[in-house]
Structure 1
Amino acid sequence: MEITLDKHSANQASIKITLNEADYQPKVDAKLKDYTKKASIRGFRPGKAPISMVKNMYGVSLMVDEINNILGESLNNYLKEQSFRILGEPLPVEKADDSIDWKTQKEFEFEYKIGFVEGVNLSLDKKTKATKFEIKVDDKLVNETIDNLKSQYGESTNPETSEAGDSIYGDLKSVEGDFTKSLSLPTSKISKKLAGKFIGIGKDAEVSFDAKEVKKDEWTEAFGLTEEELEQAKGGFTFTIKNINRTQTAELNQEFFDKIFGPDQVKSEEEFTTKVKETLQGSYDKESKVFTEEELKKVLVEKAKIELPDAFLKEWLLKANEGKITEADVEKEYPIYAQQLTWSLISNQIAKDNGIQAEHEDVIEKTKEMIREQFASSGLGSQLEASMDMFVDNYLKGNEGQNYMNMLTSVQNDKVLAFVQEQIDMKEKSISIDEFKELLEK
């Protein structure tokens, strides 16, 4: 057997494996003898058929199977000995159907394409700079949140005459064409000029307006039109009112406090405002942590400058998911895949170099945290904790054990990111909610 490697570029190569008769025939003969002992062939008692007949009937298929076994084992062992890191799986170089004569040929040559990276070199020191974002919850957001809660938990009524801020249920129709849709229109989500047409009127009233009076985002956010329906948002429209919905905002009293945070958790407006701010801050602390880590990954990916075998990986993704995705799908999703793959290479190298390892206990604790967050608003409390071990066990065994492996990877990533932040120069930056939203849109 001869195995040769031919590097075409810094990250792609071909491997040729040449087999001669001595590499596979002894194992084929052994299997043939064993098969002869068990073969049931018409006209002969089981195991009594001449080996020449069995060879004539099954020799080629046994040889093909054995050659495939040798190829797989040899290729895997060869790749394990290399210093580079294989990406994806080796791809066989396809040959014409008649290029191999299995009956007469004694020597065979097979070729595979591979993609790889030579190594990940990333120094972690104070020369590497990144930003640790902290989102500050201000009074404006707290007040908006309280107003939303008062509306959400307020009393709903159906007045005879509409006022500003009401939601109007009715039928939207195009003046020209067949478009019609029944919907609930929140007048607070459209311009004041257009909303004025819906104020001071009652059931069965018809409001007329032109599509030009409605902004594109209002068509989707207020009228609830889909992308397909947006194409018909042209010309004149009528809106026939069927019902008027109004919510009387809830009062800031003990009953309201108990609905939001549970019985006797807060007992005054001041305590309620403080609790709302703490809850919002806790939520945004998690968001800022995730955002900081994603931005940090980008910094490390840029610093590592890993050159992926893009052409090979796209071909491998297409063949590995044959029939499920198209070339267009691969082209569209590849940038995200490449970013995730690059980070995975970096994370694994940092973990290896610094002895960072996810322990079973870490996986259990992280799973418990996830389950607590999922059931945070359920009110189960002590009941959840009493059954926590069962919930954790069921989740980690799910998806044929893949959930456990995913959680293991997540824990290692957490440890790697925490380690990196200790090694590099992390500058803290406090930002507002609006600034955070702007960063997300970039």
Structure 2
Amino acid sequence: MAADTLFQRITDYAHRADPYPLYAELRENRVARQEDGSYLVGTYHEIAALLHDPRVSSDRRNRTAPDETEAGEGGLPPAFIGLDDPEHHRLRSLAMWSFGPPHTPGRIDAMHGEITRIVKDLIAELEGKERIDIVDDFAYPLPVTVICRLLGVPIEDEPQFRQWSDAIVAGIDPSPGEDTERQRAAAEARKTMGLYLGELAGKRRDHPSDDMLSAFATGHGTDGQLTQLEIMTTSVLLLIAGHETTVNLITNGVLTLLRHPDQLARLRSDPGLMPRAVEELLRYEPPVQMLPQRTPLADIEISGLTIPKGAPLILMLASGNRDPERFRDPDCFDPTREDNQHLGFGSGIHSCFGAPLARLEAQIALNALLQHLDTPRLVEDPPEYRRSPVLRGPRHLLVERGRGDA
């Protein structure tokens, strides 16, 4: 089939349940120019090199034909994920000041007990249910509760955040001919969420507590202080990224393990393998499938093809994770895999900010579920998937409990 329609086929919802044959087709081409002038890159080494190449921008405003809906952002400036250095470094550093090392090295480790308690509470609520929706009953409530507590957002406001999040994620759809109404709804949801978080941070400025919004509002680092607009954009980014990707990581993990009962049994008998298993899940079924907003700042040659300055460049992380030139038996799920330097969290200066937290949540959550559900069975395979081809995961994952379950 024609390589110049690959992206259209990959983003077609009909292929959401299994895009991997299309990724294999992409790797045969290594780099594929699309009908709309964009370029897909699907091989591991080329993707890794581009993620570290200073000639590649994360700011879509550098494109020859800028995306007007993206540039507007509902009245909010881009978050640091969509900026280049030095501004990206300044904002990311200010956010990291209150999140992790070297300034707050213990924040994530200190969450271990809290995450364990939240997981136990969610597991207790599963008691007596013969049919469980892994997404709604477990994988969604856990990370949204964690990120709300980290930021200092009242958990009673979580239902509103889910509506905003769903709208924002729906707008992260790079499909050809994407719905502009969906883009406008995403921008409006982002603005509304930003205003809410900005107002909450303003209250914390006068009455700070031990949360990240308070730190954003009152903190001063070597790079200065976040402005009110920067607090809004950064908080929206962390809240969305802090739970949406982890929902998919946990749900994809449960689905993968149920499809591989031998590996499920192995992990149940040896929970100490779970950290390596989570790394393999990030390679095998990554929650972030692609990075659709890269732009060359100069002409760049990849595998003999010149990608012109300003052209849309799409890095297919999930394809790189299955590249046989980098991984042995890449289509095999192996929770004991060694040398697993996957692209599940990206790489380079834009590598995932919240990776340590996502890893911790997934390890605790999956171990708890495996111990609780003795003989779970999938109700539907493949399950219903979410619309987004970027943040890929089941919308629902229905599991029936066996008679032996506690």
TM over 0.5: no
Give the TM interval when normalised to the shorter protein: under 0.3
Q: Which structure carries more relative contact order (alpha carbon 8 Å, separation 6+)?
A: 2
| TM-score in terms of structure 1 length | 0.20
| TM-score in terms of structure 2 length | 0.22
- Bigger share in strand: 1
